[in-house]
Chains A and B, each alone.
Chain A
Amino acid sequence: MLKVSHLTKKFGELVAVNDLSFHVAKGQIYGIAGPNGAGKSTIYNLITGNYPFEGEILFDGESIAGMPPHKIAQMGISRTFQVPETFSSLTVEQSVAVGAHFGDTDLFDPQRVDEIITFLELEADRDRMAGELNLLGNKKVMIGAALGTRPKMLLLDEPMAGSNANEIRALMALIRRINVEMGVTIIIIEHFMKVLTELTDKLLIIESGTRIAEGDPDKVTSDPEVIECYLGQAYAEDN
């Protein structure tokens, strides 16, 4: 579904993404991990059309090079942001409707907004201003707006950051349901290894924009090189 080949992004001298290739199959939950500054969010920014890049990104066989972000959203790639974004002038319902209105190329269907709000258990908050919600609420609205676009693929950028154990469990269940019930292919960037090993079908570890390992999550997390440059010895002993 998503085929990334020899992707490279330089910011001046800094090579944020370095000759990276990977492939995400339809229906998968694909994980990406790596230390801070490894280039994870940059990969998302490239897939969603925020910067020009070297290499190739194919979505359903079509190159996204040169496409503006809104076109890519309409093609079926949706995302969340590492630092939650909200529309402070809009209500929760309106925020979800933005995705349904502009990101879905079909005719606007208000019922879809209702379905998403019910799916995310946001009924009680639907008429509240989006900026008034707590962190978990913000994340849900951001996911809801993304789902409004009727995406084929959803990119989640550290969805668990700042969440407690209960919230993490709830978000994991939610992500699984989006994948299974809505049939959305998912890429997830995450620092919590437990989340990645439980949730993902395939895991990519990068450092300094370069791939270190890719494959079955359990195998990848026991790879000596991954332990050395990302997970650390303590993690290996704990597991």
Chain B
Amino acid sequence: MSATMALVFGIMAVLPLFVGGTAHMMHILIMCLIWAVVASCWDLIMGFAGIFSFGQVAFFVIGAYASAIFSIQLGIHPLAAMVLAGLVTAAAGVLVGLPCMRLKGAYIALVTFAVHMILEPFLKSGMGRALGTGGTRGILTIPPMELFGITFAADNKIAVFYAALALAVICSAIIMLVIRSSWGTAFLALKDSQDFAASLGVSAFKYKLAVFALTSFLTGLVGGFYAHYIGMLSTRLLGIDLFVMLMIMLVLGGIGQFPGAILGAIMTVIGNEMLAPLGAYRPLVLGALVVVLVLLLPDGIMGLLRSLVPHKVAEQVRQG
């Protein structure tokens, strides 16, 4: 399982040797890595912990705005701003998670998606503007990250790429460790039968809240990274396109099939670029793709790969 992850990140690491000269290609690769983390976090909370959280894009946007605002308004270093943004997003995650403790399935989807819906009007409101969200206009001049004399900005994509790669490797390793630890077992047990798990001493409250905190922390952190890379933010991120894309990443990779979500993210970002000539029909094709994928590949690419090596399945499942 971690072999798949090492292989994917290994291949990613050498790609700049071939496409490093093309800024657009490098941008696509950077976005692959960013979305890989966001999709993996979604997989951890939904695929493993069984919590139908639809607030993943919202958490990404909260992290992006928070990091931008911290660095602009407080003048702190973008790296510190990113970590703070992660913490703010984790706090938001816990806040959203609390009412979800008493809810099941579809109701959690409603509550978490409500956060997504509320976020855009909030960012555009007077309260949002007071915080420095820039209202409808958004934030236009976010300082890039500077470290060791290197500026990780849009005009230095190779540097940004390797920073994104390091971030993606760290976040994926954390997710993998969690899945393989007793925490991962607790998540699966709670997902399969909460009453049974609780009767065996698993605290549903503790583990569910912890998964909200962890996934929103990592998502917010990566959101911050995105903000300092792109240099500007607007509420367009909260449009339905990105949400659908993220859903495709997860379904394509396989829900609960980590590190399938990483593969799904890479294939979706690249596939979406290849669909660009379709113009206005692209969202239509993407929507249809979700339906087809769910029907044909219920366990995604990762499930397909695993079914090709059936004798290893039990082993892999045991390893989480």
Q: Are B200 and A90 in contact (CB under 8 A)?
A: no
A81 partner, pick from B191, B196, B256, beta carbons under 8 A: B196
A119 to B310 CA separation, bound complex (whole angstroms): 30
A85 to B200 CA separation, bound complex (whole angstroms): 12
B199 touches A (CB below 8 Å): yes
| One of B132-140, B169-177, B182-190 contacting the partner | B182-190
| One of A12-20, A100-108, A192-200 contacting the partner | A100-108
Q: Are A146 and B317 in contact (CB under 8 A)?
A: no
Range class of the B interface residue count: 20 to 34
Chain A residue numbers with a CB within 8 Å of B317 are 89, 91, 129
Q: Are B201 and A90 in contact (CB under 8 A)?
A: no
* In the complex, chain A residues 105-159 whose Cβ is within 8 Å of any chain B Cβ: 108, 127-129, 142, 145-146, 148-149
Q: Are B200 and A78 in contact (CB under 8 A)?
A: yes
Q: Are B202 and A85 in contact (CB under 8 A)?
A: no
B201 partner, pick from A85, A91, A95, A99, beta carbons under 8 A: A99
Q: Are A70 and B203 in contact (CB under 8 A)?
A: yes
Chain B residue numbers with a CB within 8 Å of A50 are 195
A9 touches B (CB below 8 Å): no
Q: Are B188 and A102 in contact (CB under 8 A)?
A: no
A98 touches B (CB below 8 Å): yes
Q: Are B318 and A149 in contact (CB under 8 A)?
A: no
B98 touches A (CB below 8 Å): no
Range class of the A interface residue count: 35 or more
Q: Report B212-229 CB contacts with A as 1/0, cut-off 8 Å.
A: 000000000000000000
Q: Are B318 and A74 in contact (CB under 8 A)?
A: no
A149 partner, pick from B189, B191, B201, B205, beta carbons under 8 A: B201
A81 to B194 CA separation, bound complex (whole angstroms): 12
Chain B residue numbers with a CB within 8 Å of A142 are 196
Chain A residue numbers with a CB within 8 Å of B256 are 89
Chain B residue numbers with a CB within 8 Å of A74 are 201
Q: Are A73 and B314 in contact (CB under 8 A)?
A: no
Q: Report B282-320 CB contacts with A as 1/0, cut-off 8 Å.
A: 000000000000000000000000000000001001100
A91 to B192 CA separation, bound complex (whole angstroms): 12
Chain B residue numbers with a CB within 8 Å of A87 are 188-189, 192-193, 196-197
A95 to B196 CA separation, bound complex (whole angstroms): 10
Q: Are B318 and A91 in contact (CB under 8 A)?
A: yes
B198 touches A (CB below 8 Å): yes
Q: Are B195 and A98 in contact (CB under 8 A)?
A: no
Q: A68-B205, A90-B188 are in contact. Are A98 and B200 (CB under 8 A)?
A: yes
Q: Are B199 and A146 in contact (CB under 8 A)?
A: yes
Return A182 CB to nearest CB of chain B, in Å: 17
- Which residues on A are within 8 Å of B, measured CB to CB? 48, 50, 68-70, 73-74, 78-79, 81, 85-91, 93-95, 97-99, 101-104, 108, 127-129, 142, 145-146, 148-149
Give the top 5 A-B pairs by smallest Cβ distance, nearest first: A103-B201, A102-B201, A85-B196, A69-B198, A73-B201
